[in-house]
Amino acid sequence: MSNTNPDFLADEFLLDHCVGNTPLVRLQRLASHTQATVLAKLEGNNPAGSVKDRPAYNMIMQAEKRGQIKRGDTLIEATSGNTGIALAMVAAMRGYKMILIMPGNSSQERKDAMRAYGAELIEATSMEAARDMALQMQKDGKGLVLNQFGNPDNVEAHYLTTGPEIWKQTGGKITHFVSSMGTTGTIMGVSKYLKEQNPDIQIVGLQPSEGSNIAGIRRWPQEYLPTIFEPSRVDRIMDIPQIEAEKTMRQLARTEGISAGTSSGGAVWASLRLAEEIPDAVIVCIICDRGDRYLSTGLFSVQD
Ligand SMILES: Cc1ncc(COP(=O)(O)O)c(C=O)c1O
């Protein structure tokens, strides 16, 4: 029996309540050479520090609601970073064991963040190998794989929260939505919601240019394309050069005071190209996480 004061039993005092409802801020300087408005949705403000808190929370809550899992069960996921940290946080919050499988080259602070939330880590040779290993462990009865790449609850998280927040925060004035693509959950869910409100809104997806390496996003080989991805929900795909993503990430921090990771730098770079192209555009881009997560890469120490 809890003896908590009844004044503090409301949902608003639960950590659950802190997932989502992130700020939307206008770029004040980087886009000032254009006539367009560029707005950044600060997903690093989520409790475990990234946009992935939304699908992690929804995938676990929906599996619970369907009776697929109960407290004390083991969950398994292949993830190179933010999803792992988010799942580890939600698993701790809801009382699950979390096993995370990831490529060995994932950054030290990401691995430490997952362990801090009590998750068990297994290293694999590549992301593809990690995904295969997770499915094999599930087959062997070691736990439930949430499979963010094929789980409709990943898309639904953004359909139910990110999309409506953006629509409301822009008063319906958004003309372009820009998002980097990893599992594609963000772009699928937001696109579905925004197109229902106004089919003219342009949905722009980002992938690393050939040979570029940007944490969290991929040019997927055809056979590993996330099954939640529906090409018809994206109007335009832009290739992001790694060097521009990194440079813009530094500019964001130095000239706007917005701390973000490389994929978010890429999203801002693409938004600025659109702003130069389309004078009256109201562009919303996703800032997936915070720069703290990338400090050990040394990328912030580079002088441009
Ligand atoms: C840093 C970063 N950027 C972008 C993304 C892409 O988001 P989504 O998986 O919803 O496509 C992710 C996803 O893991 C990420 O961690």
Angle, helices 82-94/53-65, rounded to nearest 10 degrees: 40
Give the H/E segment covering residue 99.
strand 97-103
Catalytic residue among 212, 263, 264, 271: 263
Which ligand 1 atom minimizes the distance to the CA of 83? 14
Q: Secondary structure of the chain: what % helix, strand, coil (to 5)?
A: 45, 15, 35
Give pLDDT tens digits for 194-232.
999 999 999 999 999 999 999 888 888 888 789 999 999
Phi, psi of 144 (to 5 degrees): -100, 130
**Confidence check: pLDDT of 101 > 60:** yes
* pLDDT given for residue 2 in this prediction: 66
- pLDDT confidence of 80, banded at 50, 70, 90? confident
Task: Provide the residue range defining the domain that includes 121.
Answer: 53-145
Structure token digits, residue 39: 């707005």
> Of 258, 261, 248, whose CA–CA distance to 296 is shortest?
261
Does a structural domain hold residue 3?
Answer: no
Q: How far, in Å, CA of 222 to CA of 194, rounded?
A: 27
Residue after which a domain boundary falls, among 115, 145, 175: 145
**Confidence check: pLDDT of 154 > 70:** yes
The model's pTM: 0.95
Report CA torsion sign: 159, 52, 202, 232.
negative
Does residue 116 share a domain with residue 18? no
Does a structural domain hold residue 154?
Answer: no
Does residue 170 share a domain with residue 122? no
**Confidence check: pLDDT of 1 > 60:** no
* CB 188 near ligand 1, within 6 Å: no
Stated length of the chain: 304
Does a structural domain hold residue 18?
Answer: yes
Residue after which a domain boundary falls, among 145, 176, 200: 145
Q: Which residues contact 213 (CB under 8 A, 6 or more apart)?
A: 242
Does a structural domain hold residue 128?
Answer: yes
Percent of the chain residues topping a pLDDT of 70: 99
**Confidence check: pLDDT of 34 > 90:** yes
Q: For residue 169, give the CATH number of its domain.
A: 3.40.50.1100
Does a structural domain hold residue 115?
Answer: yes
Residue type, 277: E
Does residue 178 share a domain with residue 40? yes
Report CA torsion sign: 4, 7, 10, 15.
negative
**Confidence check: pLDDT of 161 > 90:** yes
Nearest residue by C-alpha to atom 14 in ligand 1: 216
Backbone Cα Rg of the chain: 19
Does residue 194 share a domain with residue 103? no
Asked if residue 143 lies in contact with residue 99, where contact means CB atoms within 8 angstroms, the answer is: yes
Does residue 287 share a domain with residue 202? yes
Does residue 220 share a domain with residue 194? yes
Our answer to whether residue 192 is catalytic in this structure is no
Nearest residue by C-alpha to atom 12 in ligand 1: 216
Does residue 61 share a domain with residue 39? no
Does residue 78 share a domain with residue 213? no
Q: Which residues contact 279 (CB under 8 A, 6 or more apart)?
A: 34, 35, 36
Q: Residue 144: beta bridge partners?
A: 75
Residue after which a domain boundary falls, among 94, 119, 145: 145
Give pLDDT tens digits for 171-204.
999 999 999 999 999 999 999 999 999 999 999 9
Nearest residue by C-alpha to atom 16 in ligand 1: 216
**Confidence check: pLDDT of 256 > 70:** yes
- pLDDT confidence of 237, banded at 50, 70, 90? very high
Does residue 295 share a domain with residue 200? yes
The binding site comprises 82, 182-186, 263
* pLDDT given for residue 106 in this prediction: 75
Does a structural domain hold residue 182?
Answer: yes
Our answer to whether residue 80 is catalytic in this structure is no
Percent of the chain residues topping a pLDDT of 90: 85
Q: What is the DSSP letter of 224?
A: G
Q: What is the mean pLDDT of residues 79-105?
A: 93
Catalytic residue among 52, 180, 191, 212: 52
Does residue 270 share a domain with residue 183? yes
Asked if residue 176 lies in contact with residue 282, where contact means CB atoms within 8 angstroms, the answer is: yes
- pLDDT confidence of 296, banded at 50, 70, 90? confident
CA of residue 80 to ligand 1 center, whole Å: 10
**Confidence check: pLDDT of 105 > 80:** no
Asked if residue 228 lies in contact with residue 150, where contact means CB atoms within 8 angstroms, the answer is: yes
Overall domain count for the chain: 2
